[in-house]
Amino acid sequence: MSELIDHTLRGGWTPSGAGAAPLPAHALRWLSTRIGLDGITTPAAPASLLDVPGSALPEAARAELAELLGEHQVQTGATARLGRAGGLSYADLVRRRDGTDLAIPDAVLLPADPAQVQQVLEVCVRHDVAVVPFGGGTSVVGGVTALRGEKSSVVALDLAGLDRLISVDPVSRIAVLQAGVRAPEAESLLAAHGFTLGHFPQSFERATIGGFAATRSAGQASSGYGRFADMVEGVRVATPVGEWRLGSAPASAAGPDLRQLAVGGEGALGVITEVALRVRPKPTEMRYEALVLDGWQAGAEAVRALAQQRVLADVTRLSDVDETAVQLELSGGVKSRALRTLLLGRRIAEPCLLVLGWESTSGAELKQRRAATLRALSGFRSLRLGPRGGEAWHSNRFAGPRQRDALLDVGVCVETLETATCWSRLSELRSAVRAALVRALEHDGRAPIVMCHLSHAYETGASLYFTVLAARSAQDPIGQWQRAKDAATDAITKRVPGHEMGRGTLTHHHAVGADHLPWLESEIGSIGTTVLAAAKRAVDPTGILNPGKLIR
């Protein structure tokens, strides 16, 4: 834990010792040719140089919290506070590296259990202190930025102490986990009972159960295991007006599903302290493989066929031509030349990589499901790459954030964004977002690299995940990205004539946070924002919870 915080405050993701994954020389050369790099490195400023203002937490509040939690569980030192100064968006990382414009909480609170979380909220209401719930700190939308709102002080409520597996019901296959349990620990706690959650987002190494629930996370194997919201059977939530428990059955018609207010509440509608989750037997068999399809259009049609015939692999990811090209480029020149010959043989002019993965407790069942998937793909021209490509993806699937650290080091503006829409609008959405990003980031005749993959497929539509690489503006790196993000988000939320809704959703699994808030009303309407504000007033009348996130 402290290792993660240490590294975060130095401006990156990679835990010490985990290998910062410096870019290979050929990749750096290629990148430099494509987007133009000036050779200036941008290392992180040492924490000792950062300007950390004194804590504004009133002494009376601090003392009361220390009385409640213990002196060591109320931390006001610079290191602890810097470690919770925001999440891990590109802007967050740039701010940390530069040491400027950091929103630093006045204290870090470390409660030990749900009862203490509840008591902390009561103290903070009395002293009118803003509270930012903090799990893995992996938000890329400003969800854990220590904003004060109208309060004069703000604390980070770090849930790391809520790290227990409370119960496992092997008959119902429901496990109750505390909010602060990190995904790898959740998997190892459940594995001891023979179960898995099957939730593997790119933030897996750091993110927590509470964070997954609060942000409606979706993992890479969501086609097989479902989105995190689909796994939630019940929640225990601390709010300023008392503790709230929801979930007495797998499905209910007892009014609107209020669990869906807690799940997606982003810490603005309560602090999730425990989550009852559907678990599955830990798979013993896995098969990952890759295919190449010809062009985005055919690739998307293929994934749609899988989704609508309900034979999706547990992991199903389709990269567009640009993302495929970068993957081939980074995997080495020679190999990709050999591959090109094979592609030519299959008349594949625009290679799009499709990664498929199946997991099961039964080899026979896996074989059958794999056969059904491949049967549904048989009508599409493809080149099968076999297990190697799939396993390479599988073993690197959490490497993205580490690669970003390496790219930040060499002066690259690197960020991701995502959306989702129905199948009939998917390609138009991809083109529109791509065009907006390219237009906003090209300069001096150099275009950025904009890659896209389809990462989560449903019967009615799919999500799109964009990764952008551009030469970083030395003068205004944050403004540079913000303009691109604005343009992309405008393209996403642009009204479709006749449909009266945007082209796609503002976010499929990154959440709203502070960064998406300006666009939220375009998606849920003024009635939607009014309803959220009313719900907030009901559970948080004085507005201490995560000000400036999700709800204005």
The count of other CB atoms within 10 Å of the CB of residue 498 is 6
Q: How far is the CB of 153 from a copy of itself (least distance, A)?
A: 26
Residue 311, SS3 per DSSP: coil
436 CB-side CA count, 13 A: 22
Residue ranges for the known binding site for substrate are: 404
Q: In the range 414-433, which residues lie near a copy of itself by CB under 8 A?
A: 419-425
* The binder of a copy of itself chosen from 20, 21, 45, 533 (CB under 8 A): 533
Site map 122..161 versus a copy of itself, x via CB under 8 A? ----------------------------------------
| Pair 419, 411: CB distance under 8 Å | no
Nearer Cβ to a copy of itself, position 308 or 542? 308
Q: What is the distance between the alpha carbons of residues 331 and 392, in angstroms, rounded to a whole number? A: 10
For the window 236-255, what string marks contact with a copy of itself as x by the rule CB under 8 A? ---x-xx-xxxxxxxxxxxx
18 near a copy of itself, judged by CB under 8 A: no
Give the contacts of 139 (CB within 8 A, at least 6 positions apart). Answer: 87, 88, 89, 145, 211, 215, 511, 513
238/383 Cα distance (integer angstroms): 52
Q: Is 508 among the residues that bind a copy of itself (CB under 8 A)?
A: yes
Q: Which of 63, 191, 474, 538 binds a copy of itself (CB under 8 A)?
A: 538
Mask for 510-529, x = binds a copy of itself (CB under 8 A):
xxx---x---x--xxxxxx-
Site map for a copy of itself, 155-194, x if CB under 8 A?
Answer: --------------x-xxxx--------------------
Q: Give the torsion through C-alpha atoms of 233, 238, 242, 243, to 10 deg.
A: 30
Q: Which residues pair with 237 in a beta bridge?
A: 244, 272
Q: Please tell me which residue in 90, 225, 288, 465 is annotated as part of the active site.
A: 465
For residue 312, state whether it binds a copy of itself (rule: CB under 8 A). no
The reply on whether position 532 binds a copy of itself by CB under 8 A is yes
Would you count residue 215 as binding a copy of itself (CB under 8 A)? yes
No. of helices (H) and no. of strands (E), the chain: 20, 18
Q: Which is nearer to a copy of itself, 81 or 278 (CB)?
A: 278
The answer to whether 315 and 354 have CB atoms below 8 angstroms apart is no
Task: Specify whether 465 is catalytic.
Answer: yes
Total number of residues that touch a copy of itself (CB under 8 A):
88
Please identify which residue in the block is written with the tokens 């599409």. 380
Question: Does 118 engage in binding with a copy of itself (CB under 8 A)?
Answer: no
Q: Is the dihedral of CA 435, 440, 445, 450 positive or negative?
A: negative
Site for a copy of itself in 487-506 (CB under 8 A): 500-506
Q: Binding of a copy of itself at residue 308 (CB under 8 A)?
A: yes
CB 398 within 8 A of CB 15: no
* Interaction between residue 370 and a copy of itself (CB under 8 A): no
Sign of CA dihedral 65, 68, 72, 73: negative
Reported as half-sphere exposure (CB side, CA atoms, 13 A), residue 350 has a value of 11
What are the binding residues for FAD?
Answer: 133-139, 266-272
63 counts as binding a copy of itself under rule CB under 8 A: no
Instruction: Out of 9, 507, 545, 546, name the contact with a copy of itself by CB under 8 A.
Output: 507
CB of 368: closest distance to a copy of itself in angstroms? 8
CB of 150 to a copy of itself, least distance (A): 20
What three-state secondary structure class fits 298?
A: helix
- Using a 10 angstrom Cβ sphere, with 0-12 exposed, 13-18 middle and 19 or more buried, the burial of residue 286 is middle
Rounded least distance, CB 541 to a copy of itself, Å: 10
Task: Name the helix (H) or strand (E) containing 352.
Answer: strand 351-360
Closer CB to a copy of itself, residue 191 or residue 531? 531
Token pair of 125, please?
Answer: 């209401």
Catalytic residue annotation: 465
